[in-house]
Amino acid sequence: MTSRWLRALLVFGALTAVFTWPLVARLHVMDAGDSAFFAWEMAWERHAMLHDPASLPHAPIFHPLRYTLGMDEPILGTTVLLAPFWPFTADAVWLFGVARLLTFVLSAFTAYLLARELGGSEPASLLAGAAFALSPIRTDQIAHLSTLGTQWLPLVILFMVRFFRTGRRRDSFLAALFFVLEAYACGYHGVIALAVLPFVALVLLWQRWALILRALPAVAAAAVGLLPLYALHRAALDPLGYQRGAHETGVYSAALESFLATSSWNLLYGEATSAFRTTQANNLFPGLVLPALALAGAAACWRARRWPSREALALGVLGLVAALLALGPEVHLMGRPLAPGPFALARELPIFRMIRVPSRAGAFIALALAMLAARALTRFAPRPVAFGALALAALSETWIAPIPMPAWSQVVDSRRAPPPVYGWMALQPAGTVFVELPMLDIDGIFEDARHHESVYMVRQTQHWQPLLNGYAGIEPAPYVAVRERARGFPSAESLDAFAGAGARYVIVHRSGFGPNKWARIERTLPSFADRLVEVARFDDGDAVYELRLTASGPTATVSAKEPP
């Protein structure tokens, strides 16, 4: 068994490197936006757990807000995979790159284990693992480390199956453990699983009702394990009065044509399916080979006049319920509403209102299809040449390499020294509050990716001082108010906003302003000499201003070569 597992890991590692090229060769390179956010998040979780675990919920962004880690998915279930590397490096960019590739390798491996548990042959199980991990549904989300964190999901199903076969409590607790880990890796998957897995369990439980009582302790343990995650989100969002509206959920729901759409990066289907990329939701086209194999398996059962096995029915229910959930509160086709969606009922429960993107149920669809395809291949036992052709066809449908990485998006290279201002910030007393300018909204990724909020956060891993800046799935209203006032810097309104939020220093990145804006700033700065005192200037044009409430004596400037 050990040798088979090692062989499987080597195969999945090689496929990951090839099918996601050039990611493995650019582990030190980072783009702005979601990738940068997740790199920062894992770095903060590492830093907090090593140095001050009590500070973990209070990530140093959006100052002075607290529980800021709960404004997006904590992804702790993926962060823990990197614990063996923590003593050797704090490079946030490199750790993110490794984590992203590990989600592919481990998702493939755990799906392989599930396929074997369900009776799949060795070749069919290897193909199922690769097909799940490299599914167009997963690679559509390659910048979202949370959504890629599917490595625990197959193990939830595996131990559910074992428990309902044997009734062993150990298996029920293992299913609960991996469910909790999956929820901490991707909160979306955890909440979606609460809607999907009861239907799967019902199929596996049918006419085995005595197992309900045996499962209850494990269900209770899972609930206890998820309480800190729920409490974190509530502590972050309740003070802001934040709730996701039905309209927002509808915008990010799949339409019927989403099941025919895949990423534009997909070499085989990207251009062919462009007409079906009509929503802001995930693209959910799984390819043609896996659905065809699943249907062939169902047809074989039909011809033999027998019902599919209990596990096959459970897999079918898993995929079907996930697909219905992905459609959101209202079913749409090419922009036209057709009928209320099943998710409208789920939203009656408060916990499901936390879901903004119901289409992220796609991971459950991909897993169900991979497992059903493995069962069909095992049943048909095609000759090696035919199996090879099917495997080649299935993997060709997932091909996205080389992943486009335009030069303008490669804004951080952790092999290079960071801008010197960040070394200066690290030398200040711990807890000194900063604001970095310019403060750009989400569109700043395209305006000037170098100075996007998410890049400031990656740079924050060099000093861990609190920032008024921030970027997450939630934009807190107090932060948005500060950002809007910062547009007029330097002005009384902007300085009052910075001071009101507790900032002591203002970092001005000259390269982040166009010539006209910078000329205005230079003309206006002398008017605020009593409130903004330059304390450091660096060769790259970055400057540090101390924010004061009243005028005071002059403060000597320092050079980049001699930080104070």
Q: CA–CA separation, 91 vs 108, rounded Å?
A: 26
Token reading at 118: 């369900």
> Mean pLDDT, to the nearest integer, of 158-186?
97
Listed by start position, the domains of the chain span: 2-22+73-396, 417-547
- In this prediction, residue 550 carries a pLDDT of 60
> Mean pLDDT, to the nearest integer, of 294-311?
92
Token reading at 492: 């009384």
Q: CA–CA separation, 264 vs 493, rounded Å?
A: 44
Cross-strand bridge partners of residue 241? none
- Position with higher pLDDT, 348 vs 158: 158
Task: Provide the 10 A C-beta neighbour count for residue 562.
Answer: 7
The residue behind tokens 């989400």 is 442
- Express as a percent the part of the chain with pLDDT over 70: 97
Contact 199, 246 (CB under 8 A): no
The string of DSSP codes covering 392-405 is: HHHHHTT--PSPP-
Report which of 50, 46, 104 is spatially closest to residue 75, judged by C-alpha positions.
Answer: 46
Range list of H helices, 381-511: 384-396, 420-426, 444-447, 453-460, 477-486, 492-500
Is residue 226 left, alpha or beta, with left meaning phi > 0 and alpha meaning psi from -120 to 50? alpha
- In this prediction, residue 319 carries a pLDDT of 97
Q: Which of 18-27, 357-366, 459-468, 554-563 has the lowest mean pLDDT?
A: 554-563
Summarize pLDDT for 396-416 with one digit per residue, the tens: 999 999 998 887 778 999 999
Q: What is the pTM of this model?
A: 0.94
- Burial zone of 262 (CB within 10 Å; 0-12 exposed, 13-18 middle, 19+ buried): buried
Summarize pLDDT for 483-495 with one digit per residue, the tens: 999 999 999 999 9
CB burial of 128-150 (b: ≥16 within 10 Å; e: otherwise) equals: bbbbbbbbbbbbbbbebbbbbbb
Contact 483, 441 (CB under 8 A): yes
Q: CA–CA separation, 489 vs 143, rounded Å?
A: 32
Quickly state the pLDDT bin for 221 (edges 50, 70, 90). very high
Summarize pLDDT for 518-564 with one digit per residue, the tens: 999 999 999 999 999 999 999 999 999 999 976 443 333 334 433 33
Q: CA–CA separation, 32 vs 241, rounded Å?
A: 29
Report which of 100, 146, 34 is spatially closest to residue 449, judged by C-alpha positions.
Answer: 34
The secondary structure of residue 21, as a DSSP letter, is T
Residues in Cβ contact with 347 at an 8 Å cutoff, skipping those fewer than 6 apart: 246, 249, 329, 353
Report which of 414, 454, 509, 420 is spatially closest to residue 44, judged by C-alpha positions.
Answer: 454
Report which of 205, 219, 208, 202 is spatially closest to residue 317, judged by C-alpha positions.
Answer: 202
From residue 115, give the alpha-carbon distance in Å to each of 9, 148, 179, 287, 367: 15, 20, 18, 19, 10
- In this prediction, residue 562 carries a pLDDT of 36
- Strand, helix or coil for residue 530: coil
Token reading at 392: 């080649």
From residue 223, give the alpha-carbon distance in Å to each of 188, 228, 322: 16, 10, 22
Token reading at 68: 């800021």
- Strand, helix or coil for residue 412: strand
Task: Provide the 10 A C-beta neighbour count for residue 267.
Answer: 13
> Mean pLDDT, to the nearest integer, of 361-367?
97
Task: Provide the 10 A C-beta neighbour count for residue 401.
Answer: 15
> Mean pLDDT, to the nearest integer, of 502-525?
96
Contact 15, 394 (CB under 8 A): no
Average pLDDT along the chain: 93
Residues in the chain: 564
The residue behind tokens 């369900």 is 118
Residues in Cβ contact with 509 at an 8 Å cutoff, skipping those fewer than 6 apart: 436, 437, 438, 451, 541, 542
- In this prediction, residue 37 carries a pLDDT of 97
Contact 179, 193 (CB under 8 A): yes
Summarize pLDDT for 322-341 with one digit per residue, the tens: 999 999 999 999 999 999 98
Token reading at 490: 């330097």
- In this prediction, residue 348 carries a pLDDT of 78
Q: CA–CA separation, 66 vs 71, rounded Å?
A: 10
Q: Which of 123-132, 177-186, 293-302, 353-362 has the lowest mean pLDDT?
A: 353-362
Report which of 242, 195, 192 is spatially closest to residue 362, judged by C-alpha positions.
Answer: 192
> Mean pLDDT, to the nearest integer, of 179-205?
96
Contact 261, 283 (CB under 8 A): yes
Summarize pLDDT for 241-296 with one digit per residue, the tens: 887 777 788 889 999 999 999 999 999 999 999 999 999 889 999 999 999 999 99
Instruction: Give residue 453's identity as a one-letter amino acid code.
Output: E
Q: CA–CA separation, 344 vs 348, rounded Å?
A: 7
Summarize pLDDT for 75-88 with one digit per residue, the tens: 999 999 999 999 99
The secondary structure of residue 467, as a DSSP letter, is B
Range list of H helices, 271-414: 289-303, 310-326, 343-346, 362-380, 384-396
Q: CA–CA separation, 431 vs 224, rounded Å?
A: 33
- In this prediction, residue 556 carries a pLDDT of 36
- In this prediction, residue 555 carries a pLDDT of 37
Q: CA–CA separation, 86 vs 84, rounded Å?
A: 6
Token reading at 282: 């995930």
